Chain A
Amino acid sequence: MAGTELSIAITGAGGAGVISVGELLLQAWAKEGGRGLLRKAFGPQIRGGESAALLKLTETERYTAASQYDVLLAFDWNNFTRFGDEIRIARDALVICEPACDPPPEVLAAQPRLLRFPMARLAADTHAEGRVNMFALGLLGRLLGLPLDSLEQLTLQKLKAKPEAYRHAAIACISAGTTQAPDCELSLPKMGAKGAWYMSGNQAAGLGALEAGVRFVAAYPITPASDVLEWMAGGLEKLNGNLVQAEDELAAINMTIGAAFGGVPSFTATSGPGLALMTESIGLAVASETPVTILNVMRGGPSTGIPTKSEQSDLNIALHGLHGDAPHLVLAPLDIADCVFTSGWAVNLAQGLQTAAIVLSDQFIGQSTAVISEPLRCESQVAGAQDNDNDYLRYRLTDSGVSTLAIPGDADQRFTADGLEHNEKGTPSARDDDHQLQLAKRARKLTTYNYGNAWARVQGNGQVALVCFGSASAAVNEAADLLARQGINVRTVSLRLLAPLQREQLTAALEACNTVFVVEQNHGGQLFQYLRGMMDFNQALHSYSRAGPVPLSGHAIATAVAQEVTV
């Protein structure tokens, strides 16, 4: 069971500092041994649009987006209402707002405990440069029982580049917020965890890649993947690697391929539209057997879609977007901490199997920040090919399908890598036998490799199975808990390796199940269709697919499953 959870929404105008409040609260909470998630929600505007810090304080590290909020602090109501369904207020929620404006009807309908508090005036009274967000930080910190000195210390650290007067004003407002906070009873989750890390999924994916040896990144900015690249720029400097800001995604993927050809593990990150531009050259990486890893932080699509919000709708392009027969790897991290593992695993696999790996993260886990235990690392490495033959053949037909990869500078192993079909030597060839043999070789190296147990996370043993991939895992496991309370025993299979699909393992994981639900956050049921096309199922097969931007809800999944199963 997940234990007690407390969800807090802080909303205001973009640039008003609501995200800072969320970050500082969560950090202070973590320092006391608490666990929690900070989801950031934005409108499309950079400044002046709506912005929300959506906190969920928990007792475990299974982080789903809150489906409703126990506490709402709204700096104004205009920005709050722009979020529509995304922020729903729990019955009896504590709602803190300025006295001047009345809450909208949907808030009043929840019959909240309304706390009209003149935060802006009190902040201004406290200090000439006082900011209301810092006052709110003190107020909320007090409600959560967080020590004032911890809040102050974290704030000073965050504002270390700001002028002295600015920092002084911030501290004064936090202190005023703490002392003037009214007494309110909140049911708080238990604390007591130790050794916390605090990171976003995008940072985690970058970390996993660098720890797996990536020393070259080519970058083209795109929401919501830019912050992976920004974090990696700093990380690569420390490791004496290189990051190039490319002129477009076409250049980014090709620079990545070029660096990888030079023997330097290479990586790029993008989102849907960028992935679409890269697909031709990802095929080049496959054909030329050049190892590259592409992190795709999914957002609402198609086209420009909803760039700031999450969706799992790039599965189809990741699986099937390359022209020709182009077998490659597709992986998906299951949560924020798992971004470290899966990103590292993808790099190791791409390097070892000499192909392209696409990692499907998304805006939800990418841009949310969580308190986690030290993340698990991927230790497995693919053994290199042994080529003892004197006559070096870059694309030698081996049993494993993997050939020895020479890099420029290696003596007497010169070859030309090619996207043209080629023979074992690498010489372009349009011959039938060369084509058949090289196609089979490139397929074989992926299908014969033993991926071990990391292909999925399998939990529970019920006769009803929920199958999902990537970030849907948390909501699916939440649904499993809710169903268990109703007496429906469920097992969950969260796929981390999507291509090549581990059919035998998946069939074994579903043994003795009579019903399978495929759960995903997109409109078309992309995973459902993929699994149906790839496998025979003995079970009744159902699709639960709901597009973004509202995060998948364990409650909604559980309701749908219960309806089907109890009929």
Chain B
Amino acid sequence: MNVRPATLALSAVVLMSTDAEAQRFVAVPPPPNQPMAEDFDPERALFFATPNFVPLRNPEWTPLSGALGARDVAADTPVLTFEAGGKTLVLVSSQMSYHHVAQGEMAGEPWMVTF
């Protein structure tokens, strides 16, 4: 573990991603004097003032078969699946390309998916 010296000269800037044209990425200086992992370099990392994408939290679940029948999804729609609380849970990949993080609890079991 290393500790980063408190050298803060970076001003907040606004950056744009080609993957998210309407998204504002407001970079801010890294928090000073923090422990860091061995291979991590805070001078090279970008830290954002707030999350750029709203995480999907405590979502409501509906049967996948019903969503297919209602044409909310198609048979070949790319998805991510995982197990939590004894259930198979499914997230739509294109939607996770926005949220990046989904998190909740199923039958008392906390779960999180990152993408």
Judge: A and B partners, yes or no.
no
Which B residues form the contact surface with A (CB < 8 A)?
none
Which A residues form the contact surface with B (CB < 8 A)?
none
